Structure 1
Amino acid sequence: MNATANSDIAIVGMAALFARAPDLAGYWYNILNRVDAIGMPPPEWGAERLLDPSSEDLARLYTCHGGFLGELSRFDPRAFGIMPVSLTGGEPDQFHALELAQRALADAGLGEGGYAPERTGIILGHGIHPNRASVNGVQHGVVLDQTVALLRGLLPHLDAAAAAQIRTLLKQELLPLDTDGIPGLVPNMMTGRIANRLNLMGPNYILDAACASSLIAVDAAMNELRRGNADLMLAGGINTSTPPLVYMVFCRLGALSRNSRIQPFAAGADGTLLGEGGGVLVLKRLDDALRAGDRIYAVLKAVGQASDGRAKGLMAPRLEGEVLAMRRAWQQAGLDPASAGLIEAHGTGIPLGDQTEIEALRQVLGARRGAIPDVALGSVKSMIGHCIPAAGAAALIKTALALYHRLLPPTLAGEVNPRLGLEHGRLYLNTETRPWIHGGPAPRRAGVNAFGFGGINTHAILEEAPGADPQPLAAFLGRRWCPGSELLVFSQADRPALLAQLAQLHQRLDQEPALDLHTLAAALWRQRGADGERLALVAADIAGVQKRLAVALDKLADPCRERLQTRDGLYFNARPVPGRVALLFPGENSQYPDMLRALTIEFAELRRGFDFLDGLYGGERDQAPSQAIFPPPTGLDAEAQAVLQAQLRGMELGSEAVFAADRALFQLLSALGIRADALLGHSTGENAALVASGMPQLDEAALGASIRAMNALYRGLEADGAIPDGQLLSVGALPLDAARAVLAADPRLHLTMDNCANQFILFGPREAIAGAHEQLRQQGGFCSVLTLDRGYHTPLMAPMAAAFRRLFEDVEFVASATPTLYSCVTAAPFPAAPEAIRDTAAAQYRQPVRFRESIENLYRDGVRVFIEAGPESHLSAFVRDTLRGRPHLAVACDDRRRGAGEQLRYLLGALFAEGVPLDLDLLHAGCQVAEHAPPVAPYLSTAIPLIQPSATVIEHVRHVLDSSTSAQPSAIPVQPSTPVVNEPAAAAVAVESVPTPTVPVSRHPGPATALTGHFELMQDFLAQQERVMAAWLERRRRS
C-alpha cells in the first residue's frame, strides 16, 4: 500500500443496469449503436390514469416517457441468502444495488474471498424520495388507521370489533410490513445490506446530492483510498425506481420535454426526461492495481466540486459555479484542460442548462486550435434519460469504457442548437461512433460533468490506463459491436457429411428461429469438421442463413458441382487447395473520409495504425491526420470541410493515410492467421509492401523518423519547384497500344500507370492532356481527369527519386525469402542485394507502374489468391480484369458499398472456402456458447402500493358493516368532491380509483352507501393534500 493525497485511482470493475441494458456489455453495446431506450413506463406505473397534457393539476402529467427498466427489473433473492418474502414490501433500489455491487466485484475478478473485508467499503449516491417500501409503510402506519377512523366517524354505530375486522381486511390487501420489509424504510440500509451480504467491513453509507450524487460518492471513495483507510472501494449511484410523484414535481417545474424526447444540445430540445438504473464502480489505488495485474478500465485523476452560491434561483444553473468545479478538478490533477479529448456532459436537454454548460466548457477548454474542433461532446442522457442520483454513474461508466476501448461514443441529437455556438469553439457534438485516434505522448483524457439541484457542481477527470491494449471489443460485448452479417463456416470430409450438416442446421433453425447468430457462428467455427469440402456463408440474420442453406442444399445435391459462389455471400469448394496467396497494397488516391471506420472501431490493429500516424508530427501540424481521415460529424462549416478535404487529397497526408491503412490491414490479416506468399504494392503502396516484407530494418520510432524525413525532402523539393504539376488522365476501354500512339505524338505526355487490360493513366501539362482526352475519347475510350496533379512515376520526378535514394542509405535492408516482395517497377521480385533493394525502392517515383504485368507474373509464379490490403477495392478490380477467364480469387478488405466491417466477413468466407488457412478466434473472442439459457430471475416490482380492495374484500366489508348495525346513520354533510374517475392517481400516497367490483348489490344500501361516501371523502381529502403540496411547490419555485 502506498497511499498519498494525490494517488491516482484505478477503475478495475464496473456493473450497470439501465433502460434496455441488463448489464455492462449491453449498456456499452446500446451506446455504440445509438439505441434510444426512452419509452412509456410499465403498465403498473399507472400512466393511463396520470397522463393529461392539457391539465395544470400537479397530479396530472404532460408526459410519462422516460428510460424505464420495465422487465429488466429482476432479482433472485436466493442467490444472496435473502428470503423471497423480503422482496414484496422492500425497496427495489436496495436489491438492485446489492446485485450491482456483486456484479462489479465479479467484473473486477474479485469473487468471494478475493478481497480483504476489513479494507473494503461502499459509498453510493441515492435520492431520498418516496418508493415502494416507504409508501407501503405510510399505508400501514397512517392510511389504514385514518381510513378506519373516518369510517367510525361516518358510521357512529360501527363497534370497535367491526372496525378492527375491516382494518384487518384492508390490511390484507396491502404489501406485508414485517421485519423482512423494515430495512426498506431505512434509506442507508442499502449499503448496510450490501456490506452484510458481501462481507464488507469498511465504510458503508449513502449520500444525496441530487444529480451530482454519484460523482460525490466516487470522490468520497477516492478519498478513503488516498487516506489509506481502505484498499478497495465500491462507489456509484442507484435510481432503479422513479415513481409518479417525481414526475409530478418535474412536470410542475416545466423541466420535462413536452415532445417526450430528450435531446441535449439539439435545436429541438425542450426539456429532459427521467431514467431508471444504477451503476457501481470498483476502485483501487492505481499502483496497487498495476501490481496486481488488474484489468484497468480508466484512471480517475480528480473530482472537483463547487456550489453556485447566491445564484438567481435555487434551481437555476450558474455559470461561475460550473466553471469553478471544472477548474478545481484540473488544478487538483495538475493537468491542462486543453488535453481533454472527450467531454461527457451533464446535458439534460433543458435549453438554459445546456447553454450554460457549453459556455462553462468554452471558458475552461479554451479557444479552438486551427479550423477544426477537437473535443468530442456527448450526453448518455439522450439515450437512457436523466437518472438523477445515478446519472453520474452512467456517465462515468460510459466514459471509462470509451477510454478503455479507445472509442468516441455517440450522443443522440438532431440538428445542433445554433445558439450554442459550437462552430466557434473546441467542442463538437459527436453523433456517431468513431475511433478515438490519439498519437501523442500523453494518454487520452476525458471530463465528466454532473450538476445537481440546489447548485452542487462536480467535474471528474479520467485518463487512459497505462499498459497493453484492451481485450477485443467482440470479447467484451460477446458479439459484434454493431448489428451486421456473421460468417458461418462448414467443413466436412466429404459431400454426404457436408449435406447432412447443412440439412441438420436448416431443420434446427426452422425450430429455433430466435437463435443468436453470433453464437451460432462461433459454435460452427469451434466445432468445424475435417477438411475435405468447405462451405462458407455470410448472412445478417437467421432468415438469410436459411435462404443460403436452401440454395446450398439444392446446388450441392449435384455431385458434379465443385464450386459455388453467389453475390450474396455463399462460397463452396469441393477441393479447397489454394494456390499461392498475394497481398496487394494500394497507394495514394484510394483514401477517402471515414475509410475503414467500422474495422478501426472493431479491431485494435487498425486503431494502432492510425495512432501511429497521428503521433508522427506531434503538434507540428494545425490538425492531426485523424481529423481529416475521421472528420467530426458536426461543428464544421463549409470552410473547415474544405480544409479537411484538401488535406486528405494532398500528397503528404494522402500517401501517409493510405500507408497507415495498408500497414494496419496487414497486421489485422496476420492476426486472422493469413500468411502471404507474395507482396505487391501499387504506386506508393510499394512502401507499405516493403515494410510488410521486413526488408527495411526499422522499429516504430525509426519508421516514423524515415517518414518524417521523406516528407521533409518532398516539401523542400516542392518549395524549390522540383515537383512538376499537370494533370492525370484515366483512360478505360482501350488497349495500351492506343496510349503508345498518343505518347509518340506528344513527348510532353507520359504513361504513369498500366493498371489492367482496360485502364491506363497518362500525365502531362493541361493542354497536352486536353488534346489526349479528346483524341482517345473519339477512339471510344472512357476518359476522366483525376484530382491529383503531380507527375509521379514519370522521369520528371527524377530529382525526388534521387533524394529518396540518398535517404535510403541510412536504412539497413536485408533480403526476404518469404513472403516474396514484387515491384511494379520491374514487374518482378525485388533483388536480394541491399544496394539493389534501395535502387528499386527509389526508382518507383520516376518509373511507370507496371501493375498489369506484375499480376501476370504473379499468376505465372503460382499465385491464385489476391487479397487487397488497403482502402477501396480498385486493385481487386484490376486483377479480375487482367485475369478474366482464368481461375483465381481476387477479393478486397474494403468495399465502400458494403462497408469494411461487412466486407471483411465476405473476404474471410471466400478465403475459407478456397482453403486458405485462417484463424477466426479474433471474430469470436469472448463468445460463450451455452447449452441452455440462464434462468430468468423473478420480476422485482417498483410499483407504488395502493389500497385497492378486491371484489371479495369489498363484499366482506359490506358484510361486516351489515352485521354490525341495522341502523341507517344520519347523513353527514361533506364538501362536494370530484368524481373518482377524474381524480389524479398515486404519487407519494398513491391516490387511485377503486375498481368497481362485479358483485351482487347489497339488500341493505345504508352501510354500503356510507362506505362509498367514505372512499369518496378519502379521495377528496388526499386530493386536498396534493393541492396543498402543489401550492407549496409553486411557492418554492417562485422564491
Structure 2
Amino acid sequence: DIAIIGISGRYPGAATLEDFWENLKQGKDCITEIPIERWDADQLYDPEKGKVGKIASKWGGFIDDVDKFDPLFFNISPREAELMDPQERLFLQTAWETIEDGGYTLDSLSKVSSLQGSDLGGHVGVYVGVMYGEYQLFGAEESIKGNPMATWFSSSSIANRVSYSMNLHGPSMGVDTMCSSSLVSIHLAIDAIHNGLCSMAIAGGVNVSIHPNKYKNLSQNMFVSDKGRCESFGAGGNGYVPSEGVGAVLLKPLGEAEKDGDQIYGVIKGSSLNHGGKANGYTVPNPNAQAGVIREAIRRSGVSVDDFSYIEAHGTGTSLGDPIEIAGLSKAFTGRRQEGQYCSIGSVKSNIGHAESAAGISGLTKVLLQMKHKQLVPSLHSGVLNKGIDFDKTPFRVQQELASWDVPENRLRLAGISAFGAGGSNAHLIVEEYIPKAKKEYHSEDAAIIVLSAKSIDRLEDQVLNLRSYLDNHKDVNIYDLAYTLQVGRE
C-alpha cells in the first residue's frame, strides 16, 4: 500500500485546493470564455466544426496567472525563466507546495535514503504527465516577425527541473500518454517505489492552453463541445471543453509513513495500465480493454467490486465515449454480490472541463477531498442522462447532488479513478480512505513559538496573512502541532 502524504494543485477558478473543494461542493461550473490575454477568440471562432484555421469553441477552463513566476525563489535567472515553458514553471511551484504540504523540507528530502541501503540521499522520484508543448510556437512566430527567439519545451525538463532544484536523485521523467498522462505518472511512481528505485515520489501532471493551435486542432478533429460544457453522462454531449490544471501528490510506502508520523490523505491500493489495441478508430475507446485495466487494478489491490462506493470516471461527455466507458465498467464489475445501483459515479470534468494531461490528478484530488470531508459532490449537466446508457441495469448511479458519503459500518470508503488517452492508453487507480490511529494530543500552558520565514518583507507579511486566514478557517488546529510543523517542516 502507498500513502499519499502531501498534495497541491491549481484548477480553473481555484488558486488553492480549499477553493477547489468549495467549487466542487457548490456544484460550480468553472468554464469561461477564452480570456483575451490568451487570444481573441471572437476573431477565430466559427461554430462550423472542422473549418481549417478556425475554432469551434470559445470556452475553456483557465487558471489565473500562468505567466507569473518568481524565478529568484528557485535560483533561476529571469532571462532563463522567460524562455521556459510555463508548464515547467507551474509544476515546479506545485511540487514545492506539495512537499511543504507533506511537512518536508529540501534538507529532510536530501536525507531520504534508499530502502535498499544506497549511500545516495534524496532518494525521491519525480514523474509528471504532460501533453502539449505549444510555447515553442511563440518563438517561431516572433522569429517570423524578425525577432529571433528560441523558446524551450521538453517534457522531461519539467520533471528534471524539480529534481535539479530540489537535489533529488530518484528517477525523473516526463510522461505523455495523452489524456491518461498524470494517472500513468502516478502508476509509474508507485512501481518505482515497489521496485526500490526510489523511497518516495512526487507525481502528477500539468496542462495549459496558451496558444490557439490546440483549439484549431481539436476543432478540425471534431473533439470540442460547441456548447462550452462537459456534459459527463448527460444527454446531448457532443465533445469536451479543454481545461488547464496542475497538481501533484507526494507518495511513500504506507508502513514508512505511519512510522514517521506523516499525515495521510488516502491509501493507493493498486493501479494498472493497458492499451486498447486495434479498435473501430484511432480515437475510439475499447470497452473490453477498459474493463481489463479496471479488473487488473482490482486484482492488484486485493479488493472486491462490492467494496466500491464511488467511481471518478473519465467521463468526457461525448455521446460515444460515455456509453463505452459504462459498458467497460459494468463488465469489470461482473460477479458482484450487491444488487441495484450501489456505487456512485461522477466526473470532475463537468466542473472544470477536460484537463487533458492533468485530468487524472484532478480526479484523484477530487476523490481525496471527498474522502476528507466524507461527502460526494454533484456531477454537473447530468439532469437528463445520456439515452445511450441504461443506468438501471448497471451498479452505478450518477451523483447529482451534494450528499454524505455513507458506507456500511466497518467498511472504508473505496474509490476507483479512470483516465483514458485518446490514442488508447488506459489507466486505473484504486484509493482507500485512511483512518488515522488515535493519538494523544499534546496540551500545555506553555507558549507555542510560531516561526515564519520568507525571502522578503512583503512576502513575510503575506505568510502571516495566509496563516491567519488558515487558522480562522480551521479552529480545531492544535497550536503545538502547528508550531512543530512550522519549526521542522519548513525552510
> So what's the TM-score if we normalise by structure 2?
0.84
2:331 paired with 1:331: no
Alignment counterpart, residue 401 of structure 2, candidates 417, 425, 432:
432
State whether residues 14 and 279 of structure 1, in contact with CA within 8 Å, keep that contact through their aligned partners in structure 2: yes
State whether residues 374 and 428 of structure 1, in contact with CA within 8 Å, keep that contact through their aligned partners in structure 2: yes
Alignment counterpart, residue 241 of structure 2, candidates 267, 270, 273:
273
Distance 1:206 1:921 in 2: 40
Alignment counterpart, residue 166 of structure 2, candidates 198, 209, 213:
198
| SS of the residue 2:37 aligns to | helix
> Aligned-pair distance for 1:74?
2.9
- The alignment's C-alpha RMSD in Å is 2.6
Amino acid at match of 1:399: V
Partner of 1:417: 386
Partner of 2:416: 447
> Aligned-pair distance for 1:77?
1.7
Alignment counterpart, residue 138 of structure 1, candidates 132, 137, 140:
140
Alignment counterpart, residue 23 of structure 1, candidates 10, 16, 23:
16
Alignment counterpart, residue 124 of structure 1, candidates 112, 128, 133:
128
Distance 1:396 1:243, change over 3 A: same
Distance 1:11 1:457 in 2: 22
Distance 1:224 1:520 in 2: 35
Distance 1:469 1:405 in 2: 18
Partner of 1:317: 285
State whether residues 212 and 450 of structure 1, in contact with CA within 8 Å, keep that contact through their aligned partners in structure 2: yes
Distance 1:9 1:238, change over 3 A: same
State whether residues 66 and 90 of structure 2, in contact with CA within 8 Å, keep that contact through their aligned partners in structure 1: no
| SS of the residue 1:326 aligns to | helix
Partner of 1:308: 276
Higher helix share: 1
Partner of 2:84: 90
Distance 2:470 2:428 in 1: 44
> Aligned-pair distance for 1:468?
4.6
1:177-188 correspondence runs (5 A) = 177=150, 184-188=152-156
Partner of 2:262: 294
Amino acid at match of 1:50: L
> Aligned-pair distance for 1:366?
4.0
State whether residues 18 and 69 of structure 1, in contact with CA within 8 Å, keep that contact through their aligned partners in structure 2: yes
State whether residues 368 and 424 of structure 1, in contact with CA within 8 Å, keep that contact through their aligned partners in structure 2: no
Deviations 1:951-978 (Å, cap 9, x if unpaired)?
A: xxxxxxxxxxxxxxxxxxxxxxxxxxxx
State whether residues 50 and 60 of structure 1, in contact with CA within 8 Å, keep that contact through their aligned partners in structure 2: yes
State whether residues 229 and 353 of structure 2, in contact with CA within 8 Å, keep that contact through their aligned partners in structure 1: no
Deviations 1:108-135 (Å, cap 9, x if unpaired)?
A: 11122122253112011111x3422x12
State whether residues 345 and 450 of structure 1, in contact with CA within 8 Å, keep that contact through their aligned partners in structure 2: yes
> Aligned-pair distance for 1:405?
2.8
Which has the larger Rg?
1
Distance 1:211 1:267 in 2: 23
2:425 paired with 1:456: yes
Distance 1:521 1:301 in 2: 33
Distance 1:280 1:521, change over 3 A: closer
| SS of the residue 1:114 aligns to | helix
State whether residues 367 and 426 of structure 1, in contact with CA within 8 Å, keep that contact through their aligned partners in structure 2: no
Deviations 1:342-375 (Å, cap 9, x if unpaired)?
A: 0000000111100111111122224887775221
2:59 paired with 1:65: yes
1:116-265 correspondence runs (5 A) = 116=112, 117-127=121-131, 129-132=132-135, 134-139=136-141, 143-144=143-144, 170-171=146-147, 176-177=149-150, 184-265=152-233
1:659-808 correspondence runs (5 A) = none
> Aligned-pair distance for 1:463?
0.7
Distance 1:469 1:49, change over 3 A: farther
Deviations 1:704-752 (Å, cap 9, x if unpaired)?
A: xxxxxxxxxxxxxxxxxxxxxxxxxxxxxxxxxxxxxxxxxxxxxxxxx
Deviations 1:134-163 (Å, cap 9, x if unpaired)?
A: 1244346xx54xx7xxxxxxxxxxxxxxxx
Alignment counterpart, residue 401 of structure 1, candidates 347, 369, 392:
369
> Aligned-pair distance for 1:89?
2.8
Partner of 2:27: 34
State whether residues 59 and 248 of structure 1, in contact with CA within 8 Å, keep that contact through their aligned partners in structure 2: yes
Deviations 1:793-817 (Å, cap 9, x if unpaired)?
A: xxxxxxxxxxxxxxxxxxxxxxxxx
Amino acid at match of 1:304: S
State whether residues 291 and 328 of structure 2, in contact with CA within 8 Å, keep that contact through their aligned partners in structure 1: yes
Amino acid at match of 1:431: Q
> Aligned-pair distance for 1:384?
0.9
> So what's the TM-score if we normalise by structure 1?
0.41
2:357 paired with 1:385: no
Amino acid at match of 2:86: P
Distance 1:324 1:921 in 2: 46
Distance 1:311 1:261 in 2: 27
Distance 2:377 2:246 in 1: 19
1:484-883 correspondence runs (5 A) = 522=472
Deviations 1:546-580 (Å, cap 9, x if unpaired)?
A: xxxxxxxxxxxxxxxxxxxxxxxxxxxxxxxxxxx
Bigger relative contact order, structure 1 or 2 (CA pairs below 8 A, ≥6 apart): 2
State whether residues 155 and 175 of structure 2, in contact with CA within 8 Å, keep that contact through their aligned partners in structure 1: no
Distance 2:69 2:478 in 1: 29
Partner of 1:14: 7
> Aligned-pair distance for 1:418?
3.5
Distance 1:197 1:298 in 2: 28
1:470-489 correspondence runs (5 A) = none
Distance 1:519 1:118 in 2: 33
> Aligned-pair distance for 1:216?
1.0
State whether residues 6 and 101 of structure 2, in contact with CA within 8 Å, keep that contact through their aligned partners in structure 1: yes
> Aligned-pair distance for 1:310?
1.6
Distance 2:11 2:137 in 1: 24
State whether residues 205 and 247 of structure 2, in contact with CA within 8 Å, keep that contact through their aligned partners in structure 1: yes
Question: Unaligned regions of 5+ residues in structure 1, if any?
Answer: 1-7, 148-169, 471-514, 524-919, 927-1039
> Aligned-pair distance for 1:55?
6.8
Deviations 1:594-639 (Å, cap 9, x if unpaired)?
A: xxxxxxxxxxxxxxxxxxxxxxxxxxxxxxxxxxxxxxxxxxxxxx
Distance 2:49 2:103 in 1: 52
Amino acid at match of 1:131: E
State whether residues 305 and 336 of structure 2, in contact with CA within 8 Å, keep that contact through their aligned partners in structure 1: no
Distance 2:421 2:14 in 1: 24
Distance 2:471 2:185 in 1: 43
State whether residues 325 and 458 of structure 1, in contact with CA within 8 Å, keep that contact through their aligned partners in structure 2: yes
Distance 1:351 1:187 in 2: 32
> Aligned-pair distance for 1:27?
1.6
State whether residues 340 and 446 of structure 1, in contact with CA within 8 Å, keep that contact through their aligned partners in structure 2: yes
State whether residues 67 and 274 of structure 1, in contact with CA within 8 Å, keep that contact through their aligned partners in structure 2: yes
Question: Unaligned regions of 5+ residues in structure 2, if any?
Answer: 113-120, 440-464, 480-491
Amino acid at match of 1:186: S
Partner of 1:654: none
> Aligned-pair distance for 1:186?
3.0
Distance 2:251 2:321 in 1: 31
| SS of the residue 1:15 aligns to | strand
| SS of the residue 1:315 aligns to | coil
Alignment counterpart, residue 110 of structure 1, candidates 75, 84, 104:
104
| SS of the residue 2:53 aligns to | coil
State whether residues 94 and 248 of structure 2, in contact with CA within 8 Å, keep that contact through their aligned partners in structure 1: yes
Distance 1:925 1:86, change over 3 A: same
Deviations 1:304-344 (Å, cap 9, x if unpaired)?
A: 21211121111101111101111111111121122110000
2:74 paired with 1:80: yes
Distance 1:22 1:469, change over 3 A: farther
